[in-house]
Structure 1
């Protein structure tokens, strides 16, 4: 029969350890990183036979699975071999998740964070943002190339068209600016002539019709995303009143991003079709796409402002 013994002292006093569990998990991560980088170095500098002999000499009995896991972490985090303490705030489970196919792209972002400023919460937010982005991409792939018009009919598209100039953000910015500035009517065409109710023929006319009939921002967002190449042309087809109506549907994150672009914090942005996730190109890395969710947007913009102020000073 097993007898349960209740300790009269706390675990902390009984073992004379630090009472902060965070300290211990960070120490364990750092020790694991030392193990990983040592194993990786031994494997790179010794022959296979010498490597096995060395492990035997050190009494390695942790199994091949643990060895492979350590080597994997060391391989993916080579950029931190000179400062493993930078990663100590991350549990081993998080490090392994960052080594996976879907999340390894985030490792490069960690290199830009100053030593001592990295937090596990920030990394978990990056992982969550990446998860939302992958989820939205999977949803778009499942939907295929069929799209619906406001009247319920369907049309077929030939896949997404990527733009080098990222014009989605440009058009969205124009939707914002209409609230503060007077938009000049294009050419001498009367506004009434641009709102004639006719069956859409071109992609631009289809998008213009979608924007006219949009009941909320979801309709606007999907239309802009699906018809990126013709959004400028479609915008010119709208009357001033219709443009203002579209602007009133814009959500707060879009307004913040548009303002950030005017500040010079970002060079462009676009929102994915499913919403709530944004592809952002920052001023310091204009060619690198950064994916972020709505709940992390304010923190990102604040970080960019701080970085911009530091560079100015």
Structure 2
């Protein structure tokens, strides 16, 4: 499932390429044909990302709500103006430490591209075998190859296509794609837990800590509850708990307050790195070569996620995987005892 960093990256793409422009809309798949007809011809006025949901506003107070869910993704084609804070455009990389980030640490060379395309600028969301490729210029603008048909041919089941004169965005496989009023958007956001990139960080910490500390629910489930904290999915959940050396089965109310606060602060840092690099980079204190390897290969940048049966990188104990509320939970039974 795409996690919070992906949705914030998508919102930045829309802010740079669609906001302020007239947008054509259609539903090649047919499942959002009526909604697309309402959008088509309107001007996009603003975009918001909160946790795993994106809200795109059009004139006359019309909002489009998108929740990618397990399988959703946006594919971009044509000319793409790149947000200068996105690492795959400008080569800037943040490194992590055990309790947060050092965003001043940079790698002074071209961006490190993930072998699975996780930090792609042209396809963001659930991993896909087929991607829309766009050639990027030195001016951080993607240009379709000369002679390519415009708009590009529809590939696969596209729920919604949004189109400006030069940029195309295709939405596939979302859990939610619906039109909403301003009041309905506000009500949806009000139900969500704090998002470090939306809410005041200090206030978010207090909200998160207060909720967790009164809940009997295991902390491993609370971190995935979008009403408790926004944006954390299966990968970040496993990695945050390992970095805190916290047993995922401990009831929230029994987790020491300082550990709860450290979890929030660590999430603040990891989310910023995820947005910047496009990758869920959670390894700590790596030398430059190890860092490049980890950024290029998903299996080298996580402590416990997707490492069932492999030795813990710290103590050597076999990493355990179990099912928790229908999702896989990875943890070290020694380091997180």
TM-score scaled by length of structure 1: 0.20
Indicate the structure whose relative CO is greater, using CA pairs within 8 Å and at least 6 residues apart. 2
Question: Larger helix proportion, structure 1 or 2?
Answer: 1
Question: Larger strand proportion, structure 1 or 2?
Answer: 2
The structure with the largest alpha-carbon Rg is: 1
TM-score scaled by length of structure 2: 0.19
